[in-house]
Amino acid sequence: MKQRITYLLPPGTDYDPANIHISPDSVNITDTAEAPAIEKRVTAGLSELPAELRHVLSSIHELHIRYTSRQPYLAPSPLTSRLPPGLHVFFTPLASAPETDICPLLKSLFASPTQNIKCPSTPQSFSPIPILPGSERFAHTSSHQYYTPLPKNQILAFQTFLSRTFCPGTFRGECPNEIATLSFASYIDIDFDAISHAVTLTAVWRAGIGNPAARTPAKLWGGQDGGGLEVGVLVPQTADEAEEIKLGGFLTVVGEDEYPSATMFSFPSRHHAVPQSSLDIEPSFGISFQQPTGLHPKMSITFPQHQEGEKQQEGREGFLSPPKSEGACALHAYLTLPSAVFLDRYQLSDPAVLRENGLVALRSSSGEQDLEAPEWVVERWGSAALLELSPPPPNDSADDRGEWEVSVPLHLRYLQAANMTGGSEGGRGGGEGGEGYVDLTISFPAVFWACEAEEGLKMSTNPFDRVDIGYDGLFGPRTMFYHFSPATGGSSAGGSSAGGPGVGGGGMGSGIGQGVLESVIRVPVLEPVWGGLVAWGTFGAVVGGFGWVVWGLVRGMGRGKKGGVVKKTE
């Protein structure tokens, strides 16, 4: 197994290589101002994996699993790409085995006895990824997609699987400790393709995690012939080109190098953060649901304009303006919606509806498209949507709240009551929701500017390049993404925040959504409590009503007869 570990320090850090302590099988990094952001990448050849995994992978052409934590994090450069929190799976079967079912694999990785994931079989549950007309598709984009908003602590099932597989017989020590650190990861990627015959696991931890359990020393596994370990300590530098990222720092190959070697390199990057404004505040967005949500919840995406205190003279200039002066840019939101909720592609093709909601167009909608079916008959995971959002008109001073809000009209399917679904299938929150209600978790979308990149850019030379994240395949290969960071809680969304005030007796929303990248909406459901009473009550009503009408007919015939007799005798 090959390891690559990268410590990413904040820009401007002046790091002394004397703090990199090298031993024959490990590297220890000390004296950083705060715990640095870390990327760990482990590559294993198929032969290094247990037989049952090898067997499953043998019928897969490509598999990309993207798990994103619900905890908000500041994305360290160059790891700026984002996905909606939850578990995303992008998959291509081998051409010779198109019916390959990877649901059992997903269940063995991510399901636990208490938390099932809704995945009856790949052909039923996965959805084909569309090819947008007019955009040449990424050559490597997967053919099928699946998503489930994994509930809280669900990554535990994955950790259990890993320790069972890779740390047999041990419950303490380096191996389980290494796996335990995944609890703190902001995202985890697993990649496999039949051509490289290797599985790569990449995990990223945000900067500033205080808990020592989140950090393990960089150590060569299985002694000297463990496949190698490369450790980098890197600091982002000011790039020479707008589309590039430049990193400087020190690289160490464990077991080979006695001293870290200084390095400075730059590369074109597909993903960037939206450049910060002069106020030095990360450009962000928040989501909330307009209350009451009813059966047609409306998700608001709010971009706050940070202008504390006196209003700046520059007004709205620079607020939500394209991050790139050359090439066209468009503001987008990518949503992955559990099957309990959907958007109506017909409604979102109506220019009036789009305008009213601050949307430009629904660029792509895939997955479950049924507009009527209840949740309990839907087998597909849900649907993915790429929406182009309209930025505020330039020099618009009408909005005194200093924020820009667009909204996405959604519709709920009818759901089964909470106790009928065996835990939290299909995106239910942890809460039962209470009598007559179910709590539905909706993850924050990914919100970004998509811009044309200069021709001829070789994005894939980026050693931290990240592809197969759902929306990238919906754009041409020469596209750059500038990401907004999702923000929770203290957004200026007014009275309409996720945990908004209750309505009626039910008490809408809940505290579950606070501080994590998801919103919880309370959905009314029909509880199966009075099943017998309803059946017999309805039966009684129908029989009674029928009898009543027949009695009316009889009475009428009686009166009619008298009349008829009168007529005959005329």
Contact between 370 and another protein by CB under 8 A: the answer reads yes
Classify 545 as helix, strand or coil: helix
- CB contact at 8 A, 520 and 418: no
Query: Omega before 36 cis (within 30°)?
Result: no
Q: DSSP secondary-structure letter at 97?
A: -
Angle at 513 (CA atoms; ends 507, 519), nearest 5 degrees: 90
The widest CA-to-CA distance across the chain, in whole angstroms, is: 126
**136: which 2 tokens?**
């040449």
Please report how close the Cβ of residue 295 comes to another protein at its closest, in angstroms. 5
- Judged by CB, which is closer to another protein: 40, or 522? 522
Contact between 546 and another protein by CB under 8 A: the answer reads yes
Please report how close the Cβ of residue 292 comes to another protein at its closest, in angstroms. 5
Q: Which stretch binds another protein (CB under 8 A): 204-212, 220-228, 448-456, 550-558?
A: 550-558
Q: Which stretch binds another protein (CB under 8 A): 175-183, 250-258, 280-288, 431-439?
A: 431-439
- For residue 4, give the H/E element and its range: strand 2-8
Q: Which stretch binds another protein (CB under 8 A): 48-56, 100-108, 453-461, 538-546?
A: 538-546
**478: which 2 tokens?**
């020469």
Report the C-alpha gap between 162 and 83 in whole angstroms.
23
- Judged by CB, which is closer to another protein: 77, or 416? 416
Neighbours of 124 (CB within 10 A): 13
Distance of CA 158 to the CA centre of its chain: 17
Instruction: Provide, for the chain, the percentages of residues in helix, strand and coil under a 3-state DSSP scheme, each rounded to the nearest 5.
Output: 20, 30, 50
Options 105, 385, 508, 520; binder of another protein; rule CB under 8 A: 508
Contact between 535 and another protein by CB under 8 A: the answer reads yes
Q: Which stretch binds another protein (CB under 8 A): 118-126, 179-187, 300-308, 553-561?
A: 553-561
Classify 313 as helix, strand or coil: coil
Contact between 279 and another protein by CB under 8 A: the answer reads no
Contact between 309 and another protein by CB under 8 A: the answer reads no
Please report how close the Cβ of residue 345 comes to another protein at its closest, in angstroms. 9
Report the C-alpha gap between 552 and 567 in whole angstroms.
22
Contact between 545 and another protein by CB under 8 A: the answer reads yes
Options 197, 241, 377, 514; binder of another protein; rule CB under 8 A: 377
Contact between 560 and another protein by CB under 8 A: the answer reads yes
Contact between 134 and another protein by CB under 8 A: the answer reads no
Among residue numbers 401 through 420, which ones bind another protein (CB under 8 A)?
414, 416-417, 420
Options 161, 221, 265, 376; binder of another protein; rule CB under 8 A: 376
Contact between 356 and another protein by CB under 8 A: the answer reads no
Q: What residues does 438 pair with on adjacent strands?
A: 523
- Judged by CB, which is closer to another protein: 173, or 563? 563
Report the C-alpha gap between 97 and 76 in whole angstroms.
39
Contact between 437 and another protein by CB under 8 A: the answer reads yes
Contact between 505 and another protein by CB under 8 A: the answer reads yes
- Judged by CB, which is closer to another protein: 208, or 556? 556
Please report how close the Cβ of residue 521 comes to another protein at its closest, in angstroms. 8
Question: What is the identity of the amino acid at 471?
Answer: Y
Options 33, 262, 281, 526; binder of another protein; rule CB under 8 A: 526
- Secondary structure string (H, E, C) spanning 48-96: HCCHHHHHHHCCEEEEEEEEECCCCCCCCCCCCCCCCCEEEEEEEECCC
- CB contact at 8 A, 85 and 69: yes
Contact between 428 and another protein by CB under 8 A: the answer reads no
Contact between 529 and another protein by CB under 8 A: the answer reads yes
Angle between helix axes 103-110 and 155-166 (nearest 10 degrees) is: 90
- CB contact at 8 A, 93 and 119: no
Please report how close the Cβ of residue 116 comes to another protein at its closest, in angstroms. 16
DSSP code string of 398-424: --TT-EEEEEEE-EEPP---GGGSSSS
Options 14, 256, 372, 455; binder of another protein; rule CB under 8 A: 372
Report the C-alpha gap between 182 and 14 in whole angstroms.
29
Please report how close the Cβ of residue 413 comes to another protein at its closest, in angstroms. 9
Q: Which residues bind another protein (CB under 8 A)?
A: 292-296, 346-347, 350, 369-374, 376-377, 414, 416-417, 420, 435-437, 503-506, 508, 522-532, 534-539, 541-542, 544-546, 548-553, 555-557, 559-560, 562-564, 566-567, 570
